[in-house]
Chain A
Amino acid sequence: MNPLPPIATRDRAALSNTQPGTYRAFAARELAPYADAWHASEAFPMATIRRIAAEGYLGMTLPRRYGGGEASWSALAQLAEAFGWACSAARSLLTVHSMVAHTIERCGSDEQRACWLPRLACGEQLAAFALSEPEVGSDANAVATSARSEGDDYVLSGTKKWTTFAETADVFLVFAQEPNGLAAFVVERSTPGLEVDPIRGLLGVRAGGTCTVRLDGCRVPRANRLGRPGMGGRFALATALVHGRLTVAAGCVGLAQAALEASARYTSERHQFGQPLMSFQLVRRLITDMSVQTEAARGLTQRAARLLEATQPDGPTATAQAKYYAAIVAAKATADAVQLHGGSGCSSEHSVQRFFCDAKVMELIEGTNEIHQITLAQDVYRRHGAVLQTNGNANVFGKTDA
């Protein structure tokens, strides 16, 4: 692991107001007590979204000139951990909204920033990220949604799936294919031809407003395209995914922390064979592993945040490492939490059931575990002079060393 760089002194990193206790207090008061009920009803209340917005959390990393809080990536990760600890659906809202806002900030023009960021920063508009499709998951190059240039507009046609918080979103960041490659478009919900259908009965993050989004000849102004197609579109996608992965990694740390706390509480209160569960060594082993692994995931996530705010080139890779590991830790910790709760862990009377369901989803979103295994290994091989080139179906393992 590379040593941590010094905290950057430029821009927002210096303006960070990290208050993890405040974030946790908000999450404990406004989210945690209701999260099981939201999970059961598959709905997230708009009143809570308004309270989250009122705290400035939806625009916390955006520049002040757009109404944001100019908080650091580290502060965002701490907030995402607090939300993940309380309610993965709330963390999902934070993820998709802020990844769209951040991508507009990084990849948009001055006009585009001025148009959307003030409304996104205050939560007047909510955003959703529309990349996946019925036939497109990990392979973003295969996006089938098309963008056809027509006069001063683009006409978008296709179907997006698994779009989190599409149910309440006012704007969508839609990825579509132009003849020159992938491009990103901001599409307002009111655009004729845009339809949103909620997806019910999901395993986890059930209150996340996940929908199918249909674009049937949606006409959007040329000014709504973020950057150029091709490398510009890929850059916008990478920008969004790095942001998303950091918040998901932090959310997984929060999930694992919640599983740990619930397990410590339960095993100290529950008695079997005349003694508390915590007195059994096999129980203690699980608690120890949960604790150490959660702390390790937190360390990786904080390291990634610091690299990103220092604009270190290793930031995106560190973020992928953090997301990959934290998702595995969350899945393991929540499964162990159910195990420690026994039959009670399978009941909706205990939140560990929800944690377990939500953690499974974390291993799939923002890059599946397997995609991260492939790309992180590729990074290792590249550093050692070996590159796996993929051309169609032909894989060529080429040594590049002289």
Chain B
Amino acid sequence: MREHRTTIREFLGQYFHIGGISDSEDIFSLGFVDSMFAMQLVLFLERTFDVQVEDDDLVMDNFKSVDSMTSFLARKESATA
């Protein structure tokens, strides 16, 4: 999971300065995420971690922070294990 966390931070770092953002901070409320960026985020998670983001997964709680995305990936991976 630490690798996932690092990879997610590296991805986000391509799009905005993530240095001052903690893993628990809500990137939506910080103003970094519009609907197009949310789409990029979903594409990134699917492509990088080989998971399928289903319709029921499309809730803010799964994507709002690095912690949220890491937990989401853990749940997806345990579901397919």
Q: Which residues of A contact B (CB under 8 A)?
A: 107-109, 226-228, 230-232, 234-235, 237-239, 242, 311-317, 320, 375, 378-379, 382-385, 387-390, 398, 400-402
- A228 and B58 in contact (CB under 8 A), knowing A313-B44, A385-B16, A402-B17? yes
- 8 Å CB interface, B33-49 against A: 34-44, 46-47
What distance in Å separates the Cβ of B64 from its nearest Cβ neighbour in chain A?
10
- Binary interface profile of B, 39-75, with partner A (CB < 8 Å = 1, else 0)? 1111110110000000110111001000000000000
B16 contact set on A, CB distance < 8 A:
382-383, 385, 387, 400
Interface of chain B, main secondary structure: helix
Q: How far is it, in angstroms, between the C-alpha of A312 and the C-alpha of B16 when the chains are bound?
A: 17
> Which of B3-43 touch A at CB < 8 Å?
11, 14-17, 19-21, 30-32, 34-43
Instruction: Say whether B11 contacts A230, CB under 8 Å.
Output: no
User: Number of residue pairs across A and B with beta carbons under 8 Å?
Assistant: 92
Inside 8 A of A313's CB, which chain B residues have their CB? 11, 40-41, 43-44, 47
Q: Are A234 and B38 in contact (CB under 8 A)?
A: yes
Per the bound structure, the CA–CA distance linking A78 and B15 in Å amounts to 30
B17 touches A235 (CB 8 A): no
Nearest opposing residue in chain A for B11, CB measure: A313
In the bound complex, do residue A109 and residue B30 qualify as a contact, i.e. CB atoms below 8 Å apart? no
Contact check, A382 vs B43: say whether CB atoms are below 8 A apart: no
- Least Cβ distance of B65 to chain A in Å? 14
Q: Find chain A residues with CB under 8 A from B60 CB.
A: 230-231
CA distance A232 to B62 in the complex (A): 12
Whether B35 contacts A235 by the Cβ 8 Å rule is: yes
**26 pairs of residues in contact across A and B, judged by CB atoms under 8 Å:** A226-B55, A228-B56, A228-B58, A230-B60, A231-B38, A231-B63, A232-B59, A235-B35, A235-B42, A238-B36, A238-B38, A242-B39, A312-B43, A313-B47, A314-B40, A316-B40, A378-B34, A382-B16, A382-B32, A384-B17, A385-B16, A387-B16, A387-B30, A400-B17, A401-B17, A401-B20
Further contacts, 20 of them, CB under 8 A, given A230-B59, A237-B35, A387-B32: A226-B55, A228-B55, A228-B56, A228-B59, A232-B55, A232-B59, A234-B38, A235-B58, A239-B39, A311-B46, A312-B43, A312-B47, A313-B40, A313-B43, A314-B40, A315-B40, A316-B39, A383-B14, A398-B31, A402-B20
- Cα distance, A228 to B62, chains bound together (Å): 14
Known: A235-B38, A316-B39. A401 touches B19 (CB 8 A): yes
Asked if residues A232 and B58 are in contact (CB atoms below 8 Å), the reply is yes
Are A316 and B36 CB-contacts (below 8 A) given A311-B46, A383-B14, A385-B17? yes
What residues on B are CB-neighbors of A388 within 8 Å?
A: 31
CB-nearest residue of chain A to B16: A382
A contact residues around B36 at 8 Å (CB): 238, 242, 316-317, 320, 375
Assess the B40–A389 pair: CB atoms within 8 A.
no
Q: Is the CB of A235 within 8 A of B39?
A: yes
CB-CB nearest in chain A for B55: A227
Residue of A nearest to B63 (CB): A231
Which residue of chain B lies nearest to A378 when distances are taken between CB atoms in the complex? B34
B39 CB contacts on chain A under 8 angstroms:
235, 238-239, 242, 316
In the assembled complex, the Cα of A230 lies from the Cα of B46 at a distance in Å of 20
Smallest distance from the beta carbon of B39 to chain A beta carbons, Å? 4
CA distance A316 to B15 in the complex (A): 13
Q: Chain A residues near B44 (CB, 8 Å)?
A: 313
A400 touching B42 by the CB < 8 A rule?
no
Q: Which residue of A lies closest to B17 (CB)?
A: A385
Contacting pair B59 A107 (CB below 8 A): no
**CB of B10, distance to nearest CB on chain A (Å):** 12
Q: Which of B14, B21, B30, B31 has the most CB of A within 10 A?
A: B31
The list of the 4 closest CB pairs from A to B, nearest first, reads A402-B20, A385-B17, A389-B31, A313-B40
